[in-house]
Chains A and B, each alone.
Chain A
Amino acid sequence: MTAMNPIAAATIEMLRVTIVQGEAKASTDPRVEMSTILGSCVATCLFDPVARVGGMNHFLLAEPPRHVRNQQFDSDYGLFLMELLINQMLGLRASKGRMRARLCGGANLNPDLAPIGTANAAFARQFLDRERIPCVFEDLEGTQARRIQFRPASGQVRARLVPAETAPTQKPLGRPQSALGTVELF
Chain B
Amino acid sequence: MNTQSTPIRVLTVDDSASMRALLLGALTSRGFAVEQCEDGQEALEWLASNEVDVIITDINMPRLDGFGLIEKLRGSALHAERPILVLTTESSDEKKQRARNAGATGWIVKPFDTDKLTAALRRVIH
Contacts and interface: CB of A to CB of B under 8 A. Distances in A.
Interface of A: 67-69, 76-77, 79-80, 82-84, 86-87, 90, 96-97, 127, 130-132, 175, 178-186
Contacts of B100: 186
A180 B113 contact: yes
Contact of A184 (B15, B17, B107, B114): B107
Contacts, number: 83
Contact of B111 (A97, A130, A175, A186): A175
Given A80-B89, A87-B60, A183 B116 contact: yes
Nearest to A74: B111
A96 B110 contact: no
A181 B108 contact: yes
A67 B115 contact: yes
Report the contact-size class of chain B (Cβ under 8 Å from the partner). Answer: 20 to 34
A79 B113 contact: no
10 contacts: A80-B89, A87-B90, A131-B16, A131-B17, A132-B17, A181-B113, A181-B116, A183-B106, A185-B105, A186-B107
Given A182-B116, A183-B117, A130 B106 contact: no
Interface of B: 15-19, 21-22, 60, 62, 89-91, 96, 100, 104-117, 119-120, 123-124
Contact of B120 (A76, A179, A185): A185
Contacts of B113: 67-68, 180-181, 183
B111 A76 contact: yes
Contacts of B62: 96-97
Contact of B112 (A96, A131, A181, A185): A181
Nearest to B25: A70
Q: Which 6 pairs, one residue from A and one from B, show the smallest C-beta to C-beta distance?
A: A181-B113, A76-B111, A185-B106, A80-B111, A181-B112, A183-B120
Given A80-B89, A83-B19, A183 B111 contact: no
